[in-house]
Amino acid sequence: MSKKKPKNEVTTLLIKLASIAVHADEMLSPDGHHFDKEVIRSLLTDSEVRAFLDAKENQVYLPLKRNKR
């Protein structure tokens, strides 16, 4: 079975966002590993993810971060 490539940018963004959710769940589990935190950090600095979050933040779709200045 061959691996399929995502068909468009929306699909790749959704995969990245889903990866953040899965790694957050793993990190919060009793068996969590520091690797999960590093993957989350890496994904949150991804340009595609960052652009999406910035756009949604400006549209007031995301909660404000407590430490936002």
Q: What is the pLDDT of residue 5?
A: 60
* Ranges of each domain in the chain: 20-58
Could you read off the pLDDT of 31-56 as tens digits, one per residue?
Answer: 988 999 999 999 999 999 999 999 99
Residue 19 — very low, low, confident or very high, per pLDDT cuts 50/70/90?
very high
Q: What is the pLDDT of residue 2?
A: 57
> What average pLDDT score do residues 13-31 get?
95
Buried residues in 5-39 as b, exposed as e (16+ CB within 10 A): eeeeeeeebeebeebbeebeebbeeeeeeeebeeb
Among residues of the chain, what percentage have pLDDT more than 90? Answer: 59
